[in-house]
Amino acid sequence: MSFHFPVSRRDFVRSTVASGVLALTPGWGSCAEADVDADTWILLSDTHIAADRNLVAHDANMSDNLKLAIDQLLELPTNPAGVMINGDCAYLKGLPEDYRTLAPHIERLTTAGIPVHLTMGNHDDRGPARAEFADQFAASPVEGKHVAVIQSEFANWFLIDSLLEVNQVAGEIGELQRKWLAKALDEHQDKPAIVVGHHYLQNSIATANPKEVTGLKDTTEMIELFHVKPQVKAFIFGHSHNWSLGKTSASVHLVNLPPVAYLFDRSRPNGWVQAVVKPDRLELTLHAFDKQHAESGKTHALEWR
């Protein structure tokens, strides 16, 4: 099971197969008259939309911030291939009302001809999300998890589900999902693989208490999987609300997305990321809400290993 919001339900049904693969041909799910840049994707994370659209947390109105991100990305000269919201779509406990408030934001994008894809974070709840977005719910090859493969021209995107327990900080991929991911990677060796999931690799983020697991419980297993699959070029995650770039010891790129919602460290940027896939690299541009932030507007070229 996974969540995908195309602009055409017919395109969605035609493109979704039992293996959880979405084959994106140029213009998939897009209005015929819209210009689409098939190599550009918009990456959002940690939107934390609450039932009350006026709720403020950590001095941020989450719904207003998501509206601002959508306002800005809709000003791009061409539509991106799609928007990915990488977990913690909902505020704290993934309440039905949270997803009900999120729905109009997603509708703005699909109405503009931009497909949307969701992953699950630790503040999401699969049951209420599935109930609210029943028409956008696709079968998954991993029972109890929301996973998918999205094929594009220069890369295959692997969306994974790290939600372990609602409103608890740690995440886990789990053995069944890791086996699926390994098999899916083997079946898609023709292009670079970009893996997208909410939680970070435990050892990649400095935490106040290093003994407390705040990222993936199965970090060691995931690193081993990434390293033995040469097609894996990047792992994109959120969760820490802290925009940063890094690498594993085998040069798999680690991309920590900024939050759309609130910051834990006010010196860091929140906003969204524009990702352009090239044959040999991924180009990431930070669109910070604070245009005066030192990192706002900077583009980083992540060359494939």
Alpha-carbon radius of gyration of the chain: 17
pLDDT score recorded for residue 14: 41
HSE (CB half, 13 Å, CA atoms) of 259?
28
Q: Which amino acid is at 165?
A: E
Instruction: Give the CA diameter of the chain.
Output: 54
DSSP, residue by residue, 15-52 = HB-TT-EEE--TTTTS-TTS-EEEEEEEEE----B-SS
Rounded alpha-carbon distances, angstroms, from residue 267 to 45, 288, 290? 18, 12, 11
pLDDT score recorded for residue 134: 82
Q: Which two tokens stand for residue 186?
A: 């083997």
Q: Band of the pLDDT at 163, cuts 50, 70, 90?
A: very high
pTM, two decimals, is 0.93
Kindly list the domain boundaries of the chain, sorted by start residue. Answer: 2-303
pLDDT score recorded for residue 233: 98
pLDDT digits over 39-52, tens only? 999 999 999 999 99
DSSP 147: -
**CATH number 3.60.21.10 is the correct assignment for the domain at 2-303:** yes
Mean pLDDT of the chain: 90
Arithmetic mean of pLDDT, 22-30 = 49
Higher pLDDT, 215 or 29: 215
Report the C-alpha gap between 271 and 290 in whole angstroms: 8
Strands (E), 177-252: 193-196, 232-237, 244-247
In terms of Cβ atoms closer than 10 Å to its own Cβ (0-12, 13-18, 19+), residue 47 is buried
pLDDT digits over 129-154, tens only? 999 988 766 677 898 899 999 999 99
